[in-house]
Amino acid sequence: MDFKSDVEALDAFAEKYLQLKQEIAKVIVGQDEVIKKVLISIFSRGHCLLVGVPGLAKTLLVNTIAQTLGLKYNRIQFTPDLMPSDIIGTEILDEARNFRFIEGPVFANIILADEINRTPPKTQSALLEAMQEKSVTAAGVTYKLDDPFFVLATQNPIEQEGTYPLPEAQLDRFMFNVWLDYPSFDEEVMVVKNTTSDKKAELQEILTAKDIIYFQGLVRKVPVPDNVVEYAVRLASRTRPSSELSNQFAREYIHWGAGPRASQYLIIGAKCHAAINGKYSPDIEDVNAIAESILRHRVVRNYKAEAEGVGIGEIVKELTE
């Protein structure tokens, strides 16, 4: 892409984002906030964890986004017997008696890790290494993954028997933790109409992999005022009960707070949120708009918060005020 200035490029980015939303809306009804968070994750070089009951079109959403972005997409169904080699690939002995590496499904641009908490930690870590390093190692050889690379993992919040919950350190690698809710009555009527007829929406490719890499770099170049950086760091610090910046509310209801990665994601996410809304620099409102999804899986409530039903949303709202 060739633009005369970063301002012109940011205008084009905001326009492309609107086109993406319109294209995705041909297939996905509602879920505007979820779509926005997933796209912000992609353009921020982050990953996303979706939590929602079955049947809320999580797989369809990822497939649709992959088509509109012109990216290769693979879905991995996580089960208790899934092995790391089922994700990253394995070496085989070919006809010439030479070892040859067969790539696993992780070698794609977008990975849907369906029900990631259904597989043991050993297999979970194989994917999480790929998320962090953007590469995998097999038999001592390191293989680079495709660029861009984005993981969208899903969890079912109701069935917890036979699951292996992700430890906090691994959850921290996800930029966003997004909750999917049921559609409204009107949205569900539209979903039923669209999915019970033989009509099929034809999706246009809005961006290519090369365009996405360009816009990812552009988001990083967005300038941030010092007061916004300080606000993001202060917000992350206020979640830590031992911090001198935390208030009585945090000390009363939080057992463990967010680390420095939360501050980093608050700023990069605010940059992208500002850019898709036609702004050339983020403000405190942009930080607050994404704060809950970034802090939700990084803040551990204590027993008192659980006993009194004080949720993460309420805690974040109190801290941002």
Distances (CA, A) of 286 to 216, 224, 265, 279, 295: 18, 11, 12, 10, 14
pLDDT of residue 175: 92
Sequence spans of domains, the chain: 6-194+206-211, 223-320
Determine the Cα–Cα distance for residues 128 and 173; give it in Å rounded to an integer. Answer: 8
Q: What is the DSSP letter of 183?
A: P
Question: Which has more confidence, 300 or 149?
Answer: 149
Q: Binning pLDDT at 50, 70 and 90, where does residue 290 land?
A: very high
pTM: 0.89
Which residue type occupies 47?
H
CATH number of this structure's domain 6-194+206-211, picked from the four choices 3.40.50.300, 2.60.40.10, 3.40.50.720, 3.40.630.40 = 3.40.50.300
- Position 158 confidence tier, pLDDT thresholds 50, 70, 90: low
103 pLDDT above the threshold of 80: yes
Residue 53 pLDDT exceeds 80: no
Residues belonging to the chain: 321
CATH number of 223-320: 1.10.8.80
Average pLDDT, the chain: 85
Q: Give Cα 275 to chain centroid, integer Å.
A: 18
Q: How confident is the model at residue 171 (pLDDT cuts 50, 70, 90)?
A: confident
Task: Answer whether residue 266 shows pLDDT above 90.
Answer: yes
**Span 288-296, mean pLDDT?**
90
Token pair, residue 47, equals: 């990953």
pLDDT at 161: 63
pLDDT, position 2: 65
For residue 291, count other CB atoms closer than 10 A to its CB.
23
57-78 pLDDT, tens per residue?
778 888 888 888 888 889 999 8
Residue with structure tokens 């031992």?
242
